[in-house]
Amino acid sequence: MIFQKAKGIHIEGRKEACKKIPIKDYLSPKYVYIPLLQRATNLKAEVSVGDEVKIGQLVATNEQQMNIRVHASISGKVTGIKKAWHSSGKMVDSIEIENDFKNQLIETIKKEENVDSLTREQLIKKMELAGITGLGGAGFPTHIKYKTKAKIDAVIINAIECEPYLTCDFHFITKYPEKLLKGATYFMRAADAQKVVVAYKTYNYQIREALQPYLSKFPHVELHPIKNIYPAGWEKYIVEQVTKKTYNGLPAEAGVIVNNSATAITFCDAVEMNIPLIARPVSINGEGINHPSSFYVPIGTKVSELVELCGGYVKGLDPLKYNYIAGGPMTGRAIFIDDLIVNDTLGAVIVKKASEGVYPECLGCGKCADVCPVYLTPTEIKKAFERKDVKLLGDLNANKCVECGLCSYICPSHIEITEAVAKGKDLLRKGAK
Amino acid sequence: MARFAGGKAPFVRASEEKDYGTKVIMRDVMIALLPVILFSWYKNGIQVYIDGNIGLLEMFYPLFFILIGGFLSVLMEGIFYFVTDKENRSIKGVMQKLSLSFPAIPGLILALLLPLYTPIWVLIFAAFIATIIGKMIFGGFGHNVFNPALLGYAVVGFTLMGVINNAGGLFNASEAVVDAYAGATPLGKLASSGQINYDTLVAPYGSLWDFFIGTIPGALGETSALAILFGGLYLVIRKVIKWYTPVIYVGTIFVLSWIIGAVTGDAGLWFPAYSILSGGVMFAAVFMITEPVTTPTNVLGKVFFALFLGVFTVLFRFVGSLPEGVGTSLIFMNIFTLPIDKFTAVIRTKRFKKPGGLYLGILTGLLVILAVYTLVKAGAMYTVYIPFLGWVI
Amino acid sequence: MKKFLQNNAAVLAFSLILVVIFIVGGIFSRFMTIEKNEFISEYQAAEELRIYYESLIEVAGKGDKVEVFTVEQLAKEYLLPSSETETYQPILDEAYKILENDLEVAVVYIITTHGREEGVKVAYAIDIETKTLIDIKVLSNNETPSFYSALDEDFFLQLSDKTFDDVVFTIDTVAGSTYSSKAFETGMKYARELFARDFNFEIPNIVYTINSIERNYDPTTFVAKPFIANITYGAENMVLEAYFDSQYNLVEIISGNMPNGTYLNLFKNDFPATSFVDLRTHITAYDSSTRVITIRTNGYGGMPITVAFELNETLDGVVGMQITTTQTYDEEYNDGYTGAPAPAVENAYKDAYLADGTYIDAVSSATVTSNAMIRILTLMDNVLEAWNGGGN
C-alpha cells in the first residue's frame, strides 16, 4: 500500500574508525561492579561483603521474575555494595569485586563431554543457568524465548548491528565465526528448528567472508544479506525480510526465534564450557574518543578504564558540549557522569558532540510519519499527547511505537518527537489501566 | 570524572548534518522559486524591453517588485519581533528569530501572486496582512493556519482589486495593446462568458503551448507552467515536496474539467488542459498546496487535501462567480487542515478497523458528494438528466 | 532624548526603511503606471494611423509605405451643385504619397467637396506613372442617406481607373442623386488640378469657340443634318463650318479641315450648352410629294411630341396638322392641371394655329407641353419663312 511504504532509511554508519582496529581483550580490571539490576528487575545479592568469589560464581538472582542469574566476572573479594552509573541512566547498587588476579574458575566451568547428545530441555536449562540474556540491547532472558510452545522453523541470528558507531558485534563475529555458528546450532537444537539464518548487512561483507569457510560444516545455516538501512536490526524487520511473514507479538508467531550474534557466541561457551554470561564486547567510539576501538570485557568493568585504553578523550574536550551515550546513538541514553559500568546490555559507549543551536518550529513536513517503521503518525501522537487525549492516542496506536528514534533522526526541525511519542505511549499505557 | 551534557535519543540527527534541515528545505523552496521569478522578470521586463515598449529602468521593475515583496515581509516580521520582545530587545535577537522563521518566502510568493502594476502601498498592505495577520498573530512560523501569502493576496484581491486595475492591472505594456486579450485573462473570459469555447478561451492568447510556456497575461508568477515545473521538479528531487500532492490536485481539476467540458460544451482535451494551465493552478499545485505548515502532514492527509482542493477549485470556478477558484478553495481548505490531519492519521494507523473505516467512509463520502455536486451544478446536468433537481440545487 | 534614541533606534530605522520603500517604490510604481498609460495612448494613436495608412494603401492598390505629402491648397472655384451660378472652393484636407520600395507610385488627395450638403470627404488615389485615378474611398459625408444610397456600384466604378488624359473629364450622374454625384465629379476634377500642379501634369486643354449654330432649312438635307455650326478651334484658330446631325455629330464639312476625335467629342458635349438655336426641336421627315413635314420635340419628362404638318401646294401655309403625343397629364405631370385630358393642350394649339396662324398663351399648369408646342409651331413658321420670305 502506497501510504505505508516506509521501511527505514539509510543512516551513515560512522563505523570505519573503530572497525579498522581489531577487538581487544581486557579481562582483568582492578574492580568490577556487578549491577543489582537487570532489565528493570532488581536482583538479590547472593554474596556478602568480604566473600571471596571465583569467576562464574553466582552473585545475584531474582528467581521470582524469569529466574535471572548473574555471575561474578572476575575472581576476588567482594568489597562492598556501591552505587554505580548503569546504562539505564540511573545509579544502581552494584557488587564491587576487587580482582585478586588469580583468575580462579568456579568448579562447574569445565568442558561438556556429550554436547551432541544434549536434549532441548537440557540446552534450555543450560541457557537459564548461564544467565544468558540478549546482548543486543534488550537484555531479555533468552531461555524464556525458547520455552515457547509454538512450532519454530528457524532461528535467526541477528548480526546486523544497524545503529551507527556500533562495531562490537562485527568484531566479535569476525573473531569467533565458528563459535557463532556453533552457538546458533545449539539455539536451533534448543528450539527444535531445522535451520539457522544469519542475517547481516550487505555493507558488512567481512562477516560473510569470515563465515563462508565454516558453512560446509554447518549445512543448516544460511546467510541472509539485508540492506544497509536503519532499523534493519529491528527484530520484526529481520523476520519480515527473512520469512516474508509478519507478526504482532513475538517472532515465534512467525515460527522463528531471533537472537543476537554475541548471544550465540556466549551460548556456545555456555554449552561447551559451562561458562555463564560474564563478559561481553563493548565498542568505545565517537568523535570524543582518541582511538576508538572495541573490547571484550568482564561485565561490571568501568567504562572509564576502557576510555583510557583508547587514549582518553580528545584533547581539549569540553564535556558539557559532548554527550556520553550508553548504547547506540539511536536508542541509547545520555549519561551525565562518565562513571559508567559495563552491564549485559551495554554494547557501546559513544562520546560525541551534543546537539547545539536553535532550530525552527515543526513545519509539518511529515517526514517522521514517512519513515516510521510501524506506520505511526508521530506529529498527531505528539498533539494528542499534548492534549492528553488518551482515546485519540489509542486510535493512533501510540503503544506500537518501538522507539527506534527514526522520527527524531529525520526531523528537519530537530524536534524531540521520539520522546513525545514515548511519553504518549506511557500516557496511553497508564490511561488504559 | 566529568560532567557531560544531557540529551535525548537519538543522538544522531539528520538535522545536524550540513545539507539537511528546515533551513535547507526553506532554502530549496527559494531556489525553486527562482525559475518562476526569472521567468516573470523575463516576461514582464526583459521581453517587453526587447519589444521596445518600456525603458531600461522599467525593465527592472518586475524583479524589483518581487524582491521588495520578499524584503517587506522580512522587514515586517523584524519589526514585529522587535516590538513584541520587550525584555530582550536587540537587533541580534531579532536576527536570530528571523533566521528561524523564514520570513522572505511569504513575501516572495505574495509578490508573485499579485499583478505587475500593483501599487507599492498595496504591496505593503498585503505584506502586512500576510506576515503580521496571517503569520505572526498566529504564533509565527509553524503555527499559522492560513497560507500567509495567500491570505495577503486574498484580502487585497477582495478589497483593492479596483485600485490595482486602475494602476494598470496585470497586463504588461506589451500585453495591454493586444486587442485580442480584450483586457481579460483566460480565466476571466471563462468567468464572464461562461462559454466553453476554444475561440474565446484559448485562441486569443495563442495556443495551449503559450499557456504552457507562460506567455499569456496573468499575475507575475502564475503564468508559466514550464518554470513552475522546473521548480517543482527541483523540490521533488530534493524531497521537499511529495510528487503526488501536485499531481493529484492537478489531476482532479483535469478530470472534473474534462467531464464538465464534455457534458456542457462538447469540448475536447483542450479544455481540461486549459483549466490546469490557467488561473494559477500550477503555481498553487507546486508552491502553495505543498506548503508544509498549512497543509496536512501525513501522506493520506495530503492526498485527501489535494482531492478536496481540486474539487473545490472546480466548484468555485464554475459554480461560484469567483474567477479565482484556486485561492478561495485553498484558504477554505486551510481551515480543515487540522481535522484532516487527525482523521487521516487515524485511518493510516487503524486502516479499516474502527474508527479508521468510519473516518475513511466519511471523508470519501464527502468527497464523492462534493464532486458529484460540482459536476451536476457546473455541467448544468440536472436539467438534462434529473429535471426536478433544478430547483432543489 | 539620547536614551529614547538608543531604545528605539531599531524601530526608527525600520520605519525609515519602510518610508523609503513607500516613497521610492511608490514613485517607481507610479512612474511605471504613467509610462504604461502614455505608451498605450501613443500605441493606440499609432495603431489608428497605421490602419488609416493601410486603408490608403488599399485604395491605391499598391505600395507599402505612406508618407505625408505637404502641399498647399489650390485656389479653384467650382459651381455649387444646387446652383447655376454660385461657386465654392473645394478643400484639400490631406495629401499622402504612397511609396513602393521607396519609390513614389501614387498620391492620395483627401478632398472635401459639396454635394447636396457640404462635407463629402473623399480620398482620391492617383497613380503617378499612368496618371490615372486609381480608386476613391469615401471617408465621410453628410448627404441625405436616401439620396446617397442611390450611388450604386456602377457609379463608383466610373471613378476607378479613370485616366486624367480624358479631355472630357466627367462622370455620368445618377438620376435621383445628381447633387451627390456632382460632389464626386468636382472632387475628381479638383484632384486632377492638384495633380497637375504637383506632378507637372498637363491637363488636356483644348481651346475652341462655337461661333454660331444655325438651322439648315434646305428641305433636301435638313432631316439628316439639321444644324450648321461655325467653330474656331485649335491653337491656330482654324475655322470650321460643318453640318451636325440632331445628336450633334459632325456629318459634313462645309469648309475647313476635319478636327480630331477629341474635338468632335467636345463639340458634342458642348453643343447643348449653347443658345444659338433651339436644339431640342428637329424636323424628322419631309415628304415633298405629299407636302407633309414632321417636327418633333421633347415635352414633359423628355417624352416626345411629334406634329405632322400638311402644307398647301404653294408651300406657304399649313392646311392640316396631325399630332402624335405621349403626354399624359397624369398625376406626375402636374397636380395643378385641371383641364381636359390629353391631348387637349396640343389640340388647343392646333386649332388656334390652323384657324389664324397664332399661338395661344401657355396653358396654366401645362407649361412644358405648351412650350413644346410653341417650339414646334415656331420651327414650322421659321421653315415657311425661310422658304417663302426673307431669303427669297
Q: pLDDT per residue over B357-385, tens digit each?
A: 888 899 999 999 888 888 877 766 555 55
**B72 at the A interface (CB within 8 A)?**
no
Interchain proximity A411–B13, CB inside 8 Å? yes
Interchain proximity B2–A319, CB inside 8 Å? yes
C29: closest CA of chain B, how far (Å): 6
Instruction: Tell me which chain B residues have a C-beta less than 8 angstroms from the C-beta of A319.
Output: 2-5
Chain B's closest residue to A14, CA to CA, is B12
Q: How far is CA B271 from CA B90, B204, B377, B378, C9, in A?
A: 56, 15, 18, 14, 57
**B94 at the C interface (CB within 8 A)?**
yes
- Give the pLDDT confidence of B17-44 residue by residue, as tens digits: 888 888 888 899 999 999 999 999 999 8
Residue B389 confidence (pLDDT): 56
**B79 at the C interface (CB within 8 A)?**
yes
Residue B109 confidence (pLDDT): 94
CA angle C229, C235, C240 (to 5 degrees): 20
C51: closest CA of chain B, how far (Å): 14
* Contacts of C among chains (3+ CB pairs under 8 A): B
Name the β-bridge partners of A141.
Answer: A133
Q: Which of B64, B72, B177 has its CB closest to that of C40?
A: B177
- Whether the pLDDT of residue B305 is over 90: the answer is yes
Interchain proximity C33–B168, CB inside 8 Å? yes
Instruction: Tell me which chain C residues have a C-beta less than 8 angstroms from the C-beta of B68.
Output: 21, 25
How far is Cα A25 from Cα A14, in angstroms, rounded to an integer? 23
Residue with the three cell numbers 412650350: C371
- Whether the pLDDT of residue B392 is over 80: the answer is no
Residue C332 confidence (pLDDT): 63
Measure the N-to-C terminal CA separation of chain A; round to a whole number of Å. Answer: 33
- Whether the pLDDT of residue C342 is over 80: the answer is no
**B22 at the A interface (CB within 8 A)?**
yes
Instruction: Tell me which chain B residues have a C-beta less than 8 angstroms from the C-beta of A234.
Output: none
Interchain proximity B2–A359, CB inside 8 Å? no
How far is Cα B155 from Cα B146, in angstroms, rounded to an integer? 12
Q: Is B367 exposed, middle or buried (CB count within 10 Å of its CB: 0-12, 13-18, 19+)?
A: middle
For chain C, the domains span 66-198, 208-273, 282-388
- Whether the pLDDT of residue B87 is over 70: the answer is yes
Instruction: Tell me which chain B residues have a C-beta less than 8 angstroms from the C-beta of C35.
Output: 54-55, 58, 173
Name the percent of chain A in helix, strand, coil, to the closest 5. Answer: 30, 25, 45
B2: closest CA of chain A, how far (Å): 6
Residues 269-328 (B) with a CB less than 8 A from some CB of A: 292-303
Q: What is the mean pLDDT of chain B?
A: 86
- Give the pLDDT confidence of A302-311 residue by residue, as tens digits: 999 999 998 8
Interchain proximity B8–A332, CB inside 8 Å? no
How far is Cα C37 from Cα A81, in angstroms, rounded to an integer? 93
Interface test with chain B among C19, C29, C30, C41, by most B beta carbons within 10 Å:
C29
C126 phi and psi, to 5 degrees? -120, 130
Interchain proximity C21–B71, CB inside 8 Å? yes
Instruction: Tell me which chain C residues have a C-beta less than 8 angstroms from the C-beta of B176.
Output: 36, 39-40
Interchain proximity B58–C35, CB inside 8 Å? yes
Count CB-CB contacts under 10 A for residue B312. 21
- Listed range (B180-194, C39-53, C102-116, C271-285) with the worst mean pLDDT: B180-194
Domains in chain A with CATH codes: 115-273 (3.40.50.11540), 359-432 (no CATH)
Q: To the nearest whole percent, how much of chain C has pLDDT over 70? A: 95
Q: Please state the three-class secondary structure of chain C as a single string.
A: CHHHHHHHHHHHHHHHHHHHHHHHHHHHHHHHHHHHHHHHHHHHHHHHHHHHHHHHHHHHCCCCEEEECCCCCCCCCEECCCCCCCEECCEEEEEEEEEECCEEEEEEEEEEEECCCEEEEEEEEEECCCCEEEEEEEEECCCCHHHHCCCCHHHHHCCCCEECCCCCCCCCCCCCCHHHHHHHHHHHHHHHHHHHHHCCCCCCCCCEEEEEEEECCCCCCCCCCCEEEEEEECCCCEEEEEEECCCCCEEEEEECCCCCHHHHHHHHHHHHHCCCCCCCCEEEEEECCCCEEEEEEECHHHCEEEEEEEECCCCCCEEEEEEEECCCCCCCCCCCCCCCCCCHHHHHHHHHHHHHCCCCCCCCCCHHHHHHHHHHHHHHHHHHHHHHCCCC
A235: closest CA of chain B, how far (Å): 19
Count CB-CB contacts under 10 A for residue A107. 10
**B238 at the A interface (CB within 8 A)?**
no
Instruction: Tell me which chain B residues have a C-beta less than 8 angstroms from the C-beta of A6.
Output: none
Residue C111's nearest CA partner among C131, C99, C126, C129 is: C126
Q: How confident is the model at residue B388 (pLDDT cuts 50, 70, 90)?
A: low
Report the run of H or E that residue A259 belongs to, with start and end.
strand A256-260
Q: Which of B117, B118, B173 has its CB closest to that of C39?
A: B173
**B75 at the C interface (CB within 8 A)?**
yes
Instruction: Spell out, as residue ranges, where chain A has pLDDT lower than 50.
Output: 1-4
Interchain proximity A395–B299, CB inside 8 Å? no
Sequential DSSP letters for B12-40: --GGGSTT-SHHHHHHHHHHHHHHHHHHH
- In CATH, what is the architecture of C282-388? Alpha-Beta Complex (3.90)
- Give the pLDDT confidence of B58-79 residue by residue, as tens digits: 889 899 999 999 999 999 998 8
B27: closest CA of chain A, how far (Å): 13
Interchain proximity B13–A414, CB inside 8 Å? yes
A271 phi and psi, to 5 degrees? -75, -50
Report the run of H or E that residue B113 belongs to, with start and end.
helix B104-113
Instruction: Tell me which chain A residues have a C-beta less than 8 angstroms from the C-beta of B23.
Output: 360
Instruction: Tell me which chain C residues have a C-beta less than 8 angstroms from the C-beta of B178.
Output: none
Q: Over range B102-110, report the average pLDDT.
A: 92
Chain B's closest residue to C15, CA to CA, is B79
Interface test with chain C among B49, B67, B79, by most C beta carbons within 10 Å:
B79
Q: Who has greater pLDDT, C63 or B179?
A: C63
C4: closest CA of chain B, how far (Å): 14
Residue C181's nearest CA partner among C89, C109, C113 is: C113
**B162 at the A interface (CB within 8 A)?**
no
- Whether the pLDDT of residue B247 is over 90: the answer is yes
- Whether the pLDDT of residue B307 is over 90: the answer is yes
Chain A's closest residue to B102, CA to CA, is A360
Instruction: Tell me which chain C residues have a C-beta less than 8 angstroms from the C-beta of B83.
Output: 11
How far is Cα A351 from Cα A263, in angstroms, rounded to an integer? 25
B231 phi and psi, to 5 degrees? -60, -45
How far is Cα A162 from Cα A201, in angstroms, rounded to an integer? 8
Q: Which of C10, C31, C39 has its CB closest to that of B53?
A: C39
Please count the residue pairs, one from chain B and one from chain C, whose beta carbons lie less than 8 angstroms apart. Answer: 76
- Whether the pLDDT of residue C204 is over 80: the answer is no
Interface test with chain B among A11, A377, A392, by most B beta carbons within 10 Å:
A377
- Residue B365, CA atoms < 13 Å, CB-side half-sphere: 6
Chains C and A are in contact, defined as 3 or more C-beta pairs closer than 8 angstroms: no
Residues 73-112 (B) with a CB less than 8 A from some CB of A: 96, 100-102
- Give the pLDDT confidence of C294-320 residue by residue, as tens digits: 888 887 777 788 888 888 888 888 888
Interface test with chain B among C21, C38, C41, by most B beta carbons within 10 Å:
C21
- Which value does ipTM take for this structure? 0.87
Report the run of H or E that residue A37 belongs to, with start and end.
strand A37-38
- Whether the pLDDT of residue B197 is over 90: the answer is no
Chain A's closest residue to B240, CA to CA, is A365
Interchain proximity A408–B10, CB inside 8 Å? yes
Q: Is A93 left (phi over 0), alpha (psi -120 to 50) or beta?
A: beta
- Whether the pLDDT of residue B235 is over 90: the answer is yes
> A126 CB contacts (<8 Å, ≥6 apart)?
A118, A270, A271, A274
Sign of the C-alpha dihedral, residues A70, A74, A77, A81? Answer: negative
> B78 CB contacts (<8 Å, ≥6 apart)?
B94, B98, B103, C14
* Contacts of B among chains (3+ CB pairs under 8 A): A, C
Residue A228 confidence (pLDDT): 85
> A276 CB contacts (<8 Å, ≥6 apart)?
A56, A69, A71, A129, A130, A131, A132, A270
Interchain proximity B12–A329, CB inside 8 Å? yes
